[in-house]
Chain A
Amino acid sequence: DGGITQSPKYLFRKEGQNVTLSCEQNLNHDAMYWYRQDPGQGLRLIYYSQIVNDFQKGDIAEGYSVSREKKESFPLTVTSAQKNPTAFYLCASSIVGLNSPLHFGNGTRLTVT
């Protein structure tokens, strides 16, 4: 079955450590996205990529980095510079185009203490 796989489901880290969240899709979608969700704030766009080896900052990119070396993969690194990293992180993909909906992975819940 086609879909988006995020791993791990839960992740715990100490403050000051970088951590990388995995996102893999086999839907053959060109576009991939990372969102962050906090209680009561909806989804906020961190980074997106519409083609391999190219990506764009979203609304809250500070403290995060991404790479897009393969069409299927779009890992997100949460760096120590991110001041409030504890959140629910969602990866999504879509066909490139205005009318294309997003398909989401199951999410990774990151807790930093």
Chain B
Amino acid sequence: QKEVEQNSGPLSVPEGAIASLNCTYSDRGSQSFFWYRQYSGKSPELIMSIYSNGDKEDGRFTAQLNKASQYVSLLIRDSQPSDSATYLCAVNILGLNGNEKLTFGTGTRLTIIP
């Protein structure tokens, strides 16, 4: 089982609709969860962080965390063509050496259809 799993997509969503991106993780003790957006050929940029169970909203973005189910999601409301990108889920995972390290999923490619 991969440490952080995402559906690679592509996920196509009509403009104005809600895009839902999902991520599961293996380490039940993980405490920190991040969503990054990466445009083609560019570096990742942080869009959301979440640390406790429940929802966290920031503008059109909502992150949802369920530690019992080891599941974190990102909702994008009123999707815009500029939201078309790859979204990376990152989770702090306990490594074999006992150190925590930020582990990334392979990303979900999202396309917003005008």
Contact = CB atoms under 8 A, between A and B. Distances in A.
Contacts of A41: 106
Given A40-B8, A42-B105, A98 B43 contact: no
- The dominant DSSP class at the A interface is loop
Interface string B14-42: 00000000000000000110100000001
Interface of B: 8, 31-32, 34, 42-46, 49, 51, 88, 90, 92, 97, 99-107
B46 A98 contact: no
Contacts of B32: 98-100
Interface residues of A, number: 20
B42 A98 contact: no
Contacts of B49: 99, 101
Contact of B104 (A42, A99, A100): A42
Interface in A5-30: none
B56 to A, nearest CB: 13
B101 A106 contact: no
Nearest to A45: B101
B42 A107 contact: yes
A78 interface: no
B106 A90 contact: no
B51 A107 contact: no
B51 A102 contact: no
A43 B104 contact: yes
B101 A101 contact: no
Contacts of B43: 90, 104-107
Contacts of A104: 43-45
Interface string A86-113: 0000100000001111111111000000
Given A42-B104, A42-B106, A99 B51 contact: yes
B92 A90 contact: no
A65 interface: no
